[in-house]
Amino acid sequence: MAGYGTALDADFFAGSVSFFHDLVGRLCADATAAMTHDQLEELIEVRGRELLRLLLQDHLDLRAVREEQSLAAAKRADRRADRSAARVMVDAGGVAHRVIETGHERCLASVVGPVTVRRAAFRAGGTANLYPADARLNLSTGRHSHGLRKRAVVEAVRGSFDDAVAAIRRCCGNVVAKRQVERLVIAAARDVEAFYEARVPLPCTAATLLVISCDGKGVPMRPEALRPATARAAAVKGGNTYRTRLAGGEKSGRKRMATVAAVYDAEPAVRRPHDVITLSGSGTAMKNGPGPNWRTAWSLHTPGDPAAERWVAIQLLAILFGRLEETLTELRRQARAAELTAEQRKGIETCTKYLMAKRGYLGYAEALAAGWPIATGVVEGACRHLVADRLNITGARWGLDGAEAVLKLRAVISNGHLEPYWTFHLQQEHHRVHQARYQDGYQLTA
């Protein structure tokens, strides 16, 4: 069973206890009894946050005093043993830090407000101080606590940075600004790749499919974050025809493609083409079919003709059955029979070129017979959810580091891995910020 502190330790919390009793007295007052419940909530939220901040500050002060007492006791023991050297910390470069100074302070912006951390410094000439107390607390290099950094990640990846700052200030006070949130998010994403490389995949049977699907989604970027070819094309083109919208065929020249990969397990499910699409016009392929097929249909049918839907279904069924060459031949025959104009033939020409270019990827008959998935809905949904819902917010323009960090963290959260990732990230931070500075490392203690 864990022991409790002494009465002397409790004295360090006298300020917090006094504040708590003052809050209790205020809740017992007649004026408070006349408050509505929303007024009570606001009172408890604001004063309660201050109480938590005082408790955190008092605890940090207690740890500082305990560290000073421990160092003083060690110094007295060394003197009694007639040892000339007191406590020594050796840094990663082999330099011994023999001079100890207490009372060094640093600010810490926490989820309950700003506090001050006081600790002892182990000093040596010509090199940076060592702070063992910082390692025990696993403090970050900046002034923002890891709890506040996590809050910034959660808020920033689901909405704009302005909204993230507003949300943090509502629950934590005025402890962070927009530019700081942007930097915190970038720093928080640095261990995502290492986290997934260290994960052990769950076992599965040999029959289970490993499905990999890739797609891309354009992200509006700041000029310096564009790929060189895009930046050159935008500079050569100059301004667009219209000031408020793009003309037909124009590109904005301000986007960079984000590549999204969806990797998942799937059990084989043997299907027939008619399980995917029917002549009645229902099915996934009809709802999300390739655009070229529909453009071809409108080249051969009048606008709004219900027969166009059945025509598209017939063409798609033929492709699913593996009859691509017959489909291309039939398209050309129908185009000649309809005696279309050059403008009307554009849709059919586009479709035939598209199918011929993709013919190596259209083995749908074999895929359906083997039970493999053929739809792209998973990765298309991932592009919409991971990329478009956040990075394509109206008016947003991204730098490369910020966009990459937000996408990685959105993927972590969507996978349900935020908590294990954050534990891993804090372990890596402790190693980078603290253990790497000591010759023998400095293990994180509970």
Mind listing the pLDDT tens digit for each residue in 374-391?
A: 988 899 999 999 999 999
Q: Which of 339, 319, 201, 344 is nearest to 265 (CA)?
A: 201
Domain boundary among 82, 108, 139: 82
Please give the structure tokens belonging to residue 264: 């998942």
Is position 269 within any domain? yes
pLDDT digits (tens, 9 = 90+) for 148-176: 999 999 999 999 999 999 999 998 989 99
Asked if residue 104 and residue 144 are part of one domain, the reply reads yes
Dist CA 400 CA 220 (whole Å): 10
DSSP state of 387: I
Domain presence at residue 391: no
Asked if 346 and 245 sit in the same domain, the reply is yes
Minimum mean pLDDT range among 270-274, 327-331, 340-344: 340-344
CA separation, residue 191 to residues 181, 197, 330 (Å):
18, 10, 54
Q: What is the pLDDT of residue 445?
A: 46
- Are both 235 and 373 inside the same structural domain? yes
Q: How many domains, the chain? A: 3
Please tell me whether residues 107 and 65 are part of one structural domain: no
- Residue whose structure tokens are 């109206």: 394
pTM of the model: 0.83
- Distance from the Cα of residue 32 to its chain's centroid: 43
Is 5 a domain residue? Answer: no
Lowest mean pLDDT among 41-50, 273-282, 306-315: 273-282
Virtual torsion, Cα 158, 163, 167, 168, nearest 10 deg: 90
User: Average pLDDT in the 118-137 region?
Assistant: 95
Q: Tell me what pLDDT residue 70 has.
A: 92
User: Are 338 and 437 within one domain?
Assistant: no
297 and 268 assigned to the same domain: yes
- CA distance linking residue 96 with residue 217, whole number of Å: 54
Which of 37, 60, 82 represents a domain boundary (last residue)? Answer: 82
Please state the φ and ψ torsions of residue 6, each to the nearest 5 degrees. -80, 175
Sign of CA dihedral 117, 122, 128, 133: negative
- Residue 46 in any domain: the answer is yes
Indicate whether 249 and 356 sit together in one domain: yes
Are residue 435 and residue 358 in the same domain, yes or no?
A: no
- DSSP assignment string, 206-236: TTSEEEEEEEEEEEEB-GGGS-HHHHHHHHH
- Give residues with Cβ within 8 angstroms of 209, minimum separation 6: 265, 266, 267, 268, 371, 372, 373
pLDDT at 75: 84
β pairing state of 99-110 and 209-220: unpaired
139 confidence band (pLDDT: 50, 70, 90) = very high
* Mean pLDDT, range 356-366, rounded to an integer: 91
Binning pLDDT at 50, 70 and 90, where does residue 233 land? Answer: confident
What are the C-alpha distances in Å from 67 to residues 62, 75, 345? 9, 12, 83
- How high is the mean pLDDT of the chain? 88
Residue 103 domain-assigned (yes or no)? yes
- Decide if pLDDT at 446 tops 50: no
Which amino acid belongs to residue 95?
A: V
For residue 227, report the phi and psi dihedrals to the nearest 5 degrees: -65, 150
Tokens describing residue 273: 């083409």
Amino acid at site 222: R
Residue type, 430: H
Statement: residue 444 has pLDDT above 90 = no
Whether 390 is in a domain gets the answer no
Give yes or no for residue 66 having a pLDDT over 80. yes
Least confident of 63-67, 185-189, 349-353: 349-353
Task: Write down the pLDDT at residue 285.
Answer: 46
Residue 443 lies in a domain: yes
124 and 268 share one domain: no
Domain termination site, one of 66, 82, 98: 82
| Cβ atoms 261, 217 nearer than 8 A | no
Tokens at residue 176, please? 């962070």
Residues 6+ apart with CB under 8 A from 241: 247, 250
Report d(CA 209, CA 324) in Å as an integer: 26
Say whether both 14 and 72 belong to one domain: yes
Tell which residue, 271, 265, 263, 264, has the closest CA to residue 370.
Answer: 271
The least confident of 130-144, 191-205, 431-445 is 431-445
72 and 97 both lie in a single domain: no
Q: Are residues 298 and 218 in the same domain?
A: yes
CA torsion sign, 290 to 296 to 302 to 308?
A: negative
Give me the domain span that covers residue 356.
209-378
